[in-house]
Amino acid sequence: MGKLIIEGGKKISGEICVQGAKNAVLPILAATVMANDISVLKNCPYLRDVDKTDLVLERLGCKVIRENNTVTVDASGMNDCVICEDLMREMRSSIVFLGAIISRCKKAVVSMPGGCPIGLRPIDLHLKALKSLGVEIQEEHGYIKCKAEELCGGNIHLDFPSVGATENAMLAAVCAKGTTTISNAAREPEIVDLGRFLNCMGAKVCGMGSSVISIEGVEKLHGAEYTIMPDRIVAATYLAASAVTGGEICLKQVRPKDMGAMLHVLADMGAVLKIEKNSIVQQAPRRLNSVHTIRTMPYPGFPTDIQSPFMAMAAVAEGTSVFVENIFENRFQHVDELARMGADIKVVGRSAVVRGVKKLQGSNVVARELRGGAALVVAALCAQGVTTITGTDFIDRGYESIEKYLSECGAKIRRE
């Protein structure tokens, strides 16, 4: 596992063009298999998860070419409908290929995705949605075997607005016979991006971004050219990195309208934000204020993915903040590591009580999952002394060249 070595105390100031969104590009890459054609995706970030998804596409028989931030997928040669265990264990979010492969091949076999560091990650809602469209599903020997004589539109109600289940339902419904309604659908901006891409492929998806998505099935789809949306979680992580060091930062190629809940918290903590359509300028206060209570919720509520980087900010704020993690059952693994740096955090069930301290101390810490790793970077940037973060593979899953972007904004950070 690689290491990041950070000497804290430098202001993070400057300008960053924010990368494309990991959680938009993954389902959109999966969707490219649904057309016997070529698709061109722009603004694709360089991430481990994107590399792994490219590998899945190649294992399915597709040709994938990357030129800088553009990925071209030729799905005309697709010759398989199986995603094996090693790939699913590598990246459980490959489950979103299920709907796409069934759409194209009327059958699919994927290994059970299993859990991950932040929770059990069940897929019951995915499978229930697919069954509503006429998919027959067999779960045996750790594999999920799906087949559908014919995909028929239907009414899908999600007991929870699951992002992945909404995506799988959309992917399986776009070429089903008849109309599909997905109620209690996830409303995340990444769902909107997927719907827009599908419509560029010739699908008829409407209502994405609302709780009710309607899809009129079409005969077939064609390839499309599409630019991936900016990553709102990475953008907010850089705002936190600058805010916690008293810096002034300008983010370009962002969509502030996707980031409302996060920007309100930053303002509540004392950051001064100047918001334009595609940019954010943030001036941090000398010391951040605590925030009364943060509850993670489905969009448009406060995103679970930014809970840990924002907790790193609260760890040195004036006063006490409370974080309630309502989405995943094990998303406080960064707390022990922040405590090693001198943070005063008490976890009780799904809540974490954070009493701000004046200064964190640099130390050796371990990233145990993607966003918890990002939280350790935020903490290290404002800590006194040097911090070594082990587990950069986790961070690289979601943050493109994190040390490059941060060092260009004044951080003393290097990778080993």
Q: Which two tokens stand for residue 65?
A: 């070419």
Q: Look up 116 and say whether it is catalytic.
A: yes
Interaction between residue 262 and ligand EPZ (CB under 6 A) = no
Q: Which stretch binds ligand EPZ (CB under 6 A): 33-41, 114-122, 149-157, 210-218?
A: 114-122
Residues 380-399 that bind ligand EPZ (CB under 6 A): 398
CB of 304 to ligand EPZ, least distance (A): 5
CB atoms near residue 5 (< 10 Å): 16
Distance CA 199, CA 290 (A): 43
Looking at residue 54, its amino acid is D
* Closer CB to ligand EPZ, 10 or 334, in the complex: 334
| 3-state SS assignment for residue 160 | coil
Interaction between residue 122 and ligand EPZ (CB under 6 A) = yes
With CB under 6 A as the contact rule, the residue among 160, 257, 274, 346 that binds ligand EPZ is 160
The closest alpha carbon to 171, from 208, 140, 143, 136, belongs to: 208
Cβ atoms of 305 and 371 within 8 Å: the answer is yes
Residue facing ligand EPZ at closest CB distance = 164
With CB under 6 A as the contact rule, the residue among 13, 72, 93, 390 that binds ligand EPZ is 93
Interaction between residue 328 and ligand EPZ (CB under 6 A) = yes
Interaction between residue 307 and ligand EPZ (CB under 6 A) = no
Binding string to ligand EPZ for residues 180 to 219, with x set by CB under 6 A, is what?
------x---------------------------------
CB of 114 to ligand EPZ, least distance (A): 12
Alpha helices in 349-391 (DSSP H): 370-382
With CB under 6 A as the contact rule, the residue among 181, 304, 333, 392 that binds ligand EPZ is 304
Interaction between residue 119 and ligand EPZ (CB under 6 A) = yes
Cβ atoms of 303 and 187 within 8 Å: the answer is no
Residue 392 contacts by C-beta under 8 Å, 6 or more apart in sequence? 1, 2, 3, 4, 367, 373, 415
CB of 24 to ligand EPZ, least distance (A): 8
Q: Which stretch binds ligand EPZ (CB under 6 A): 31-39, 79-87, 122-130, 273-281?
A: 122-130
Q: Which stretch binds ligand EPZ (CB under 6 A): 120-128, 140-148, 171-179, 281-289?
A: 120-128
The closest alpha carbon to 72, from 229, 253, 226, 231, belongs to: 226
Give CB contacts under 8 A, 24+ apart, made by 194-201: 194/24, 194/27, 194/28, 194/31, 194/167, 194/170, 195/170, 196/226, 197/28, 197/31, 197/224, 197/226, 198/31, 198/170, 198/171, 198/174, 200/224, 200/225, 200/226, 201/31, 201/34, 201/35, 201/39, 201/174
Interaction between residue 305 and ligand EPZ (CB under 6 A) = yes
Residues 221-240 that bind ligand EPZ (CB under 6 A): none
CB of 271 to ligand EPZ, least distance (A): 23
Alpha helices in 92-173 (DSSP H): 97-105, 124-132, 163-173
Binding string to ligand EPZ for residues 353 to 372, with x set by CB under 6 A, is what?
-----------------xx-
Residue 68 contacts by C-beta under 8 Å, 6 or more apart in sequence? none
Interaction between residue 245 and ligand EPZ (CB under 6 A) = no
| End-to-end Cα separation, the chain, in angstroms | 9
CB atoms near residue 376 (< 10 Å): 31
* Closer CB to ligand EPZ, 74 or 258, in the complex: 258
Residues 25-44 that bind ligand EPZ (CB under 6 A): 26
Cβ atoms of 137 and 179 within 8 Å: the answer is no
Interaction between residue 126 and ligand EPZ (CB under 6 A) = yes
* Closer CB to ligand EPZ, 197 or 328, in the complex: 328
Interaction between residue 115 and ligand EPZ (CB under 6 A) = no
Residues within the interface to ligand EPZ (CB under 6 A): 22-23, 26, 93, 119, 121-126, 160, 162-165, 186, 304-305, 327-328, 370-371, 398
- Catalytic (active-site) positions: 116
